[in-house]
Structure 1
Amino acid sequence: MLFDSKRIRLRKMEKGDVPLYHSWRNDIEMMSSTNPNLDQYSLEETLDFVETIILGSSSSKAYMIHEKEMDVTIGITSLINIDYKNRNAECIIDIGEKTYWGKGYGFEALRLLLNYAFLEMNLHRVSLRVFSFNKKAIRLYEKLGFKHEGTSRQCLYRYGQWYDIVHMGILKDEYKCETTF
C-alpha cells in the first residue's frame, strides 16, 4: 500500500489534528531543531496556520504519521511549495512524540513520502533545508539519498551562536525506491 509500511501509516492531515499539532508546535525542544522561528502560538493561530497554509493550499500536502502497533499519531510529514510545472517540491518532517525519536520512524515516513512524490506525483526533484547542528537529521537525509546542494551561512541564531542552514535535494533518477520495509 502506498501510504503504509510495516510500522506506520500516513494519512491526510485533518482539522481534527489541530490540537495535537498545536502541542508539537509549542514544544520548544522539538521545534528548536526544525523551526527557525521559535515562538509560542495560541490555538487560534495554529488553527489559522493549518487551515490557510496546510489544508488550504494547493501547493502543499500534509500527512500525519500514525504508528500502527500502539495506534498513536507520532508526527507529520509534508510536501510544500509544490511546483507542478517544474515538478519540484520541498519536504519537511517532524516527529512530535519524543518517545519515537531515534527509532527509524522518520526514515520510514520520508521513504513513504518520497515514494509518493516520485512514483505517483511524478516529481523530478525534492529538496529540504536542515539546520547544520542537526547531525542526526543530516545523516538520515543522506541515507535516503539526498545530496548537499548548498549552504546559507550563519542565518540561524540558536543556543547563543550562529548556525548554517544546509540545502539538500534528491532527483527522481537518484532515488532508490523501496516499497517493502
Structure 2
Amino acid sequence: MFSTDRIYLRKVIKEDTDIYHKWRSNPNVMQNTSPNLDVYTREDTENFILSIIKSANSKSYMIQHRENDEPIGIVSLINIDYKNRNAECIIDLGNEDYWGRGYGKEAMNELLKYSFLELNLHKVYLKVFSFNERAIRLYERLGFEREGEQKEQLFRNGAWHGIIMMALFQDKFLQ
C-alpha cells in the first residue's frame, strides 16, 4: 500500500530518533521546514518522536529508499480531524542526497492516496514558506491550490516572509 518502485513508507518508531535528530540538527534541512530555527537536544528529539508515535490524531511514516533501505525523510498527517474529514500534511526530506530527484513527490502521493482512499478524508492541507519555491511547485504539481497567506509571518535571513496555506480536496485528487 505504501510503496513505489523507488521508496516505501513505514511507521516511525523510537529507533528513528538518531536519524531524525541528525536531520533536525541540519540548518539546510530546517531552513525550509521549521518556523523556529533552534538547537534541539537528542532528548528533545526523542520526546518529539515519542509524541508522534503516541498521538491519536497523527500518522507519521519514514520514507525509505527501496534499493538500499536508506532513510530519506518523514511524511506525516497531523491534526487529523476524523469528524470533519481533514488533516494537515507535512513532508521533511532530511537526507539532502535525495533532494530534487522526485522522491518527495512519490512520498506525498502515497500519503495522499492513503488519506483519500483509506482514511476517506475530504481535505488535506499544508503550510509552506513563501520563499520555498521548489516545495510550492511540488505541491501545485500534486494538485494543491493556494487558500491564503499569512503575510510577513516568518522572519528568516534578515527578511519577512509569508506562510502560504494550500489544500487538496478528495474529489480533485480522484480525478
Q: TM-score, normalised on structure 2? A: 0.98
Secondary structure of 2:110 counterpart: helix
State the shift of 1:70 in Å: 2.1
Q: Provide the C-alpha distance between the structure 1 equivalents of 2:8 and 2:105, rounded to a whole number of angstroms.
A: 13
2: distance between equivalents of 1:89 and 1:71? 28
CA RMSD of aligned residues (A): 0.8
Q: Indicate the residue corresponding to 2:3 in structure 1.
A: 4
Q: Structure 2 unaligned runs (5+)? A: none
Residue 75 of structure 1 and its aligned partner are, at CA, apart by 0.4
Q: Which runs of 5+ in 1 are unaligned?
A: none
Work out the CA distance in 1 between the residues paired with 2:46 and 2:64: 21
**Worse overlay, 40-49 or 111-120:** 40-49
Q: Which SS does the other structure have where 1:82 is aligned?
A: strand
AA of the residue aligned to 2:47: D
Quick one: which amino acid aligns to residue 48 of structure 1? N
Tell me whether 1:38 sits opposite 2:37 in the alignment.
yes
What is the CA distance between 1:69 and its match in structure 2?
Answer: 1.4
User: Is residue 2:157 matched to residue 1:159?
Assistant: yes
The counterpart of 2:104, out of the listed 102, 106, 116, is 106
Q: Distance in 2 between matches of 1:125 and 1:176?
A: 12
Matched residue count: 175
Q: Secondary structure at the match of 1:175?
A: helix
CA distance in 2 between partners of 1:156 and 1:176 (Å): 34
* Inter-partner Cα distance in structure 1 for 2:9 and 2:46: 21
Question: What residue is the counterpart of 1:168 in the other structure?
Answer: 166
Residue 28 (structure 2) aligns with? 29
Deviations 1:154-177 (A, max 9, x none): 000001000000000000001147
Q: Distance in 1 between matches of 2:23 and 2:109?
A: 22
After TM superposition, the score normalised by the length of structure 1 is 0.95
Runs of 4+ in 1 over 4 A off after TM superposition: none
Question: Partners of 2:49 and 2:67 in 1: how far apart?
Answer: 27
- How big is the shift at 1:71? 1.9
